[in-house]
Amino acid sequence: DAGVIQSPRHEVTEMGQEVTLRCKPISGHDYLFWYRQTMMRGLELLIYFNNNVPIDDSGMPEDRFSAKMPNASFSTLKIQPSEPRDSAVYFCASSLGFSGTGGFNYGYTFGSGTRLTVV
Amino acid sequence: SQQGEEDPQALSIQEGENATMNCSYKTSINNLQWYRQNSGRGLVHLILIRSNEREKHSGRLRVTLDTSKKSSSLLITASRAADTASYFCATDPDRGSTLGRLYFGRGTQLTVWP
């Protein structure tokens, strides 16, 4: 398997523009997570999906952020309009989740991330 | 907060030495995981230890878990320059409302000098 695939790897955009980040999870993984990483705030969970359904979006900073998972093999994170404070590395991760007992007992597989710079 | 906290924030050692990183957390957990992140890359899963386990090994990695103290440690033996990375612990809290997600700490930056 090619792992979790994110695109683009780098994105530089002007303030006010729409930004769309893309993620292809590992086939068969039924959990998908979007994280944001900055030096100041560390790794923040934005939203996660189980079987394509959003489970918890409480980490989405504002209405400017939206995420979709139209099918099991694709998810997008959209920022509209973008602002300089959105500059960060955005990671997508997927996981099998549960094996039946004992909690969330599979690891996450992370993509290589999208480095977003809003100027 | 349900996330783990790693200690120390930064660790600098020579090749061949052992590196020990610690993680403390506040709630009961189902399991605890450790991840590594090389500069400019995504996190990589290293090892998972369940709440009923006390120690686990994987190659040069040794993880311990003390649920009574709500703490875990990651030991890397005979470190190499290639071990230079940030190391994160992540907890799966034993609470129904949080099932399905992990809580990551801020990480320990390990530098191994040749």
Distance from CA of B101 to the nearest CA of A (A): 7
Q: Does A56 or A2 have the greater pLDDT score?
A: A56
Taking an 8 Å cut-off on Cβ atoms, the answer to whether B50 and A105 are in contact is yes
> Does residue A55 sit at the B interface (CB-CB below 8 Å)?
yes
Residue A28's pLDDT is 92
CA distance A27 to A34: 17
Residues of B in contact with A107 (CB under 8 A): 33, 35, 45, 48
Please choose, from the candidates B94, B91, B90, B92, the residue with its C-alpha nearest in 3D space to the C-alpha of residue B107: B90
Tell me: pLDDT of B11 over 90: yes
Interface test with B, best of A24, A55, A104 (most B CBs within 10 A): A104
Higher-confidence residue of B96 and B63: namely B63
Instruction: Name the phi and psi angles at B110, rounded to 5.
Output: -100, 130
On whether any CB of chain A is under 8 Å from the CB of B106, the answer is: yes
Question: Which residues sit opposite B108 in a β-bridge?
Answer: B87
B101 touching A (Cβ < 8 Å): yes
| Average pLDDT over chain A, rounded to an integer | 92
pLDDT at B48 (0 to 100): 93
- Which pLDDT value is given to residue A10? 97
pLDDT at A2: 80
Q: Does A25 touch chain B (CB under 8 A)?
A: no
Task: State both tokens at B6.
Answer: 């790693």
Name the residue with higher pLDDT: B2 or B73. B73
Closest CA of chain B from A105, distance in Å: 7
Nearest CA in chain A to B5: A42
The reported pLDDT for the residue numbered A61 is 87
Six token digits for residue A113:
């991330």
Reported as a single tens digit per residue, the pLDDT across A23-77 is 999 999 999 999 999 999 999 999 999 999 999 899 998 899 999 999 999 999 9
- Asked if omega into A8 is within 30° of 0 (cis), the reply is yes
| B50 C-beta neighbours (distance < 10 Å), count | 17
| Predicted pLDDT of residue A54 | 94
| Nearest partner of A117 among A85, A93, A91, judged by Cα | A85
Separation between Cα atoms, residue A66 and residue A4, nearest integer Å: 20
Q: What are phi and psi of A61, to 5 degrees?
A: -65, -40
Lowest-confidence pick of A66-75, A78-87, A89-98: A89-98
Q: Which residues of chain B are within 8 Å of residue A24 when distances are taken between CB atoms?
A: none
**pLDDT value at position A70?**
97
A110 to chain B: which residues are within 8 Å by CB? Answer: 42-44
- Identify all chain B residues contacting A111, using CB atoms and an 8 Å cutoff: 42
Judge whether residue A105 has pLDDT over 80: no
Binary contact (A93, B43; C-beta < 8 A): yes
Q: What angle do CA B62, B98, B93 make, to 5 degrees?
A: 30
